[in-house]
Amino acid sequence: MGFVASLGFMTQPASPSSPSANELLKLASPTLAGNIAATLADGTAERFSDDDTQFLKFHGIYQEDDRDLRKTGKKYIMLIRIRMPGGVISPAQYLELDRLSDVYANQTLRITSRQTIQFHGVLKSNLGATIKGINETLLTTLATCGDVVRNITVPASPGIGAVGRELLAQANALADFLSPATPAYHSIWIDGTELNLKSEEKSKDFIDPLYGKTYLPRKFKFGFALPPSNDTDVLTNDVGLIAIVEEGKLVGYNLTAGGGMGRSHNNPATFPRLGDVIGFVTPEQLQQVALAAVTVHRDFGDRSNRKHARLKYLLAERGVEWFRAEVEKRSGVTLGAARPFQFTSVSDPFGWHTQPDGRKFLGLSVATGRIKDTESQKLKTALRVVVERFQPEIRFTPGNNLILANIAPENEAALTVVLKEHGAILPEQVSAVRRASTACVSLPTCGLALAESERAFPTLIGYAETALAEAGIPGEEIIIRTSGCPNGCSRPYVAEIGLVGKAPGKYQLYLGGNATGTRLNRVYKDVIKADELPGEFRALFTRFAQEREAGERFGDWANRILFA
């Protein structure tokens, strides 16, 4: 912690507005303990207080309610998110998460857009046992939510070999380096006790060595990428690290900054943004430069308006040169000139592939990232059998999909048989547009949701599949992302087609992103009803099939023709 301590803490620049309510909460309980332990122990309490729901986020927990049941009264349930940089876990860890989801959650595992797993539907009475169980697998939920550095994304494909393993190791080291130091998490969830700092005053005097007493103004996201693949959508992160490989060796990273998807309807001061390329850093410089970038956000981010509190607004308003100078001053590193790179795809690897070490891996398409059993498709059971029998490494992708890695070649056929026996849909059975597309969770549990997303996804993508077939291009890959609200957790603003919830059954229609995640799309229709989408898709895809240039993708055609 020597370098962290040496940074000190700057005085927040004067703001014309008062601190937000969240800032005052953090200041009052900088350990992040709040009254969580007392409420947890109170068997008569149905829910945590509104104040404690903000502290719970730092512990990886969202208090939600089933909005389908609100007419008969709120039924409070918990979402739990697990930290796993790069989305890689062992067979033993996967099997325990699978078990915990059956015992304490809603019998599903949800792959997130940041390569981790969420449990849904956990009751307050089961919260302690669930989180303790997660920690006993040597995983944690700390810092997967809240105003801190979130789960770090890393290229998922085992096909990239030694460089991929190096990126994963550096991401894990960076996650540990930037993790909050509060003793409250261990005290509450592992020891099962209230944090004992002897006095209220001592608790209020706690200062996190990196984050200070009030942590960050908002969340902060890091992502790694390895060209030519941009499977992590690296430019949508607060800070991106684009790996530069020369002669087979990782020589460093192009640093990007200022990406972010969130916005609010009818508020033009909020907007999605792609990160700017800032400069080049070596692996040895990575941690101190990353830390400097976080402290820029910590010290200059807007603490009065949370809708204006992401790093992207600092980059948009103060510029790249200002940010570079601040990072260099704080880190003591002079950034080099950015190295050339090019992205060609954001797609996950589907189907069977051979790893550089000769072993095999299988990329599976998981619809909306929801690992579950249905009457006809027992994907959750199939994966449990596969992991028990063949012991693969499990990797989750930012595209909400799953990779089974390190499989002996002689087991390929037997593993495939297990999946087929349980009715699991193999990648070759899924259309290109469905494989390429994603959706956020949205209703019924997300409190921010304005329209359906995950539950509507099969129908909405079905509209697209039908329209593509009618246009004579049934095998066309088009990236479609749906989000139940403008916060954009599914990263809809870099999709070729983005559907953003605006009201029940109504969406904003965005068009014109590209296949490499390097261009934002634009609003094509401010409001479109869900039942109008079949006709809209039919008209768009028919024009596309007739007017496209050779090899042109839908997003490029839309950007060239519809916004000319």
User: What pLDDT digit, counting tens, does each position of 402-414 carry?
Assistant: 999 999 999 999 9
Q: Is the pLDDT of residue 9 over 70?
A: no
Across residues 88-99, what is the average pLDDT?
98
Q: What is the pLDDT of residue 8?
A: 46
Q: Is the pLDDT of residue 426 over 80?
A: yes
Are 440 and 113 in contact, with CB atoms under 8 Å apart? yes
Are 59 and 189 in contact, with CB atoms under 8 Å apart? yes
Quick one: residue 297, left, alpha or beta (phi over 0 = left, psi -120 to 50 = alpha)?
alpha
Per the domain annotation, does 73 fall within a domain?
no
Residues 402 and 453 in one domain: no
Residues 444 and 315 in one domain: no
Percent of the chain at pLDDT > 70 equals 96
CA pair distance 126, 121, nearest whole angstrom: 10
Per the domain annotation, does 98 fall within a domain?
no
Per-residue pLDDT reduced to its tens digit, 115-143: 999 999 999 999 999 999 999 999 999 99
Owning domain of residue 526? 434-562
Which of 10-19, 289-298, 368-377 shows the lowest per-residue confidence on average (mean pLDDT)? 10-19
Per the domain annotation, does 134 fall within a domain?
no
Per-residue pLDDT reduced to its tens digit, 383-396: 999 999 999 999 99
CA pair distance 33, 204, nearest whole angstrom: 11
Across residues 458-482, what is the average pLDDT?
98
CA pair distance 81, 295, nearest whole angstrom: 25
Percent of the chain at pLDDT > 90 equals 94
Residues 303 and 360 in one domain: no
Q: Residue 205: pLDDT band by 50, 70, 90 thresholds?
A: confident
Q: Is the pLDDT of residue 274 over 90?
A: yes
Are 467 and 398 in contact, with CB atoms under 8 Å apart? no
Q: What is the pLDDT of residue 485?
A: 98
Provide the mean pLDDT of the chain. 95
Q: Residue 277: pLDDT band by 50, 70, 90 thresholds?
A: very high
CA-wise closest residue to 506 among 534, 529, 532, 483: 529
Q: For tokens 């309980």, name the residue.
A: 29
Residues 203 and 295 in one domain: yes
CA pair distance 224, 244, nearest whole angstrom: 11
Across residues 95-110, what is the average pLDDT?
98
Q: What is the pLDDT of residue 196?
A: 72
Q: Write the single-letter amino acid at 345.
A: S
Q: Write the single-letter amino acid at 65.
A: D
Q: Is the pLDDT of residue 201 over 60?
A: no
Residues with a known catalytic role: 81, 150, 219, 221, 440, 446, 485, 489
Q: What is the CATH number of the domain that holds 558?
A: 3.30.413.10
Q: What is the pLDDT of residue 2?
A: 39
Q: What is the CATH number of the domain that holds 395?
A: 3.90.480.10
Per-residue pLDDT reduced to its tens digit, 48-89: 999 999 999 999 999 999 999 999 989 999 999 999 999 999
Per the domain annotation, does 409 fall within a domain?
yes
Q: What angle do CA 510, 511, 515 make, to 5 degrees?
A: 125
CA-wise closest residue to 43 among 106, 136, 128, 101: 128
Per the domain annotation, does 100 fall within a domain?
no
Residues 533 and 478 in one domain: yes
